[in-house]
Amino acid sequence: MKPGLVDWLLEPEDASVRYIVLTDILDRASDDPEVIEAQRTILGSQAVQAIFSRQDPAGWWDTPERATGIKRASGQLLILSRLGVQVDERVRRGCEFVLSKPWLPARRPVCIVPCYTANCLRFLARFGYGDDPRVEAGWAAMVERFSHGDGLKCWYQKHPCHWLAVKALWAFAGCPDPERIAPAMARTAEALLEHRFDFAGDEARWLRFGFPWYFQSDLLDALEALAACGYAADARLQALAEQVRCKQGQDGRWLLEGGSTAMRVERRGHPSKWITARALRLLKHVDEAKPTQ
């Protein structure tokens, strides 16, 4: 922790980051007055209000839901879940809208890619729909797909998609029935941990940390997903975490280098509170999980 870094992250302009730092880095209790205040102010933050201002009364955003696009209902709900928004009527309307549309993997009558389903499961679980009967088919589809060796096969590419692995792991991390998804989660985690990233070549983009992502991902996002699934102590994750550590600037901050261009939360090329808070949280979990000598 560099001098002044925590004070910078705790500035009131971004209540979501403030909440992450207080709870996950400084280990403040849920009944701490500052934690309660940070959580209370998330809903009124500029980023959250900007998203809700564009929501149609029917629950969707911008255009009726399709399988792509972070500015549509699924993408907006995913961002809201990342921002730490609590469930209210607007969130419920959005979730109900998504559930009323095709969201399970299928080629016909519409093409729904599995990463879309995984993203939906992630925010649906976060917003209390994880054990909803309508979501049951989603968990079943994830288990069926990722319990087999070709689960990461992408319809648009000939090689396995490791972005898809990250989306699947985030979904698995929120499943209300961990035993059910355990084999599929383990297979997916192994596929990601065993992958030899070519950071100096074609996979350099994995080191361009960004927020928010929709279909794409980066190494920080991937390691966070693995840690959320219980792999923080894995030696392979520990080794990859050094790539995150190496990108920390002399001032203790990380830059925003990627993320959706359709939804900007911070300025690219500038120090990022979101990346910094998430990187510090990940490295804290990694350090705490290291075997004692």
At 148-183, the pLDDT tens digits run: 878 898 777 667 899 999 999 999 999 999 999 999
At 238-276, the pLDDT tens digits run: 999 999 999 999 999 999 999 988 888 899 999 999 999
- The rounded radius of gyration (Å) of the Cα atoms in the chain is 19
At 241-250, the pLDDT tens digits run: 999 999 999 9
Sign for the CA dihedral angle at 62, 64, 70, 74 comes to positive
Establish how many alpha carbons lie within 13 A of residue 66's alpha carbon, considering only the half-sphere containing its beta carbon. Answer: 6
pLDDT of 110 > 90? The answer is no
Banded model confidence at residue 200, pLDDT cuts 50, 70, 90:
very high
Structure tokens at 86: 């609590």
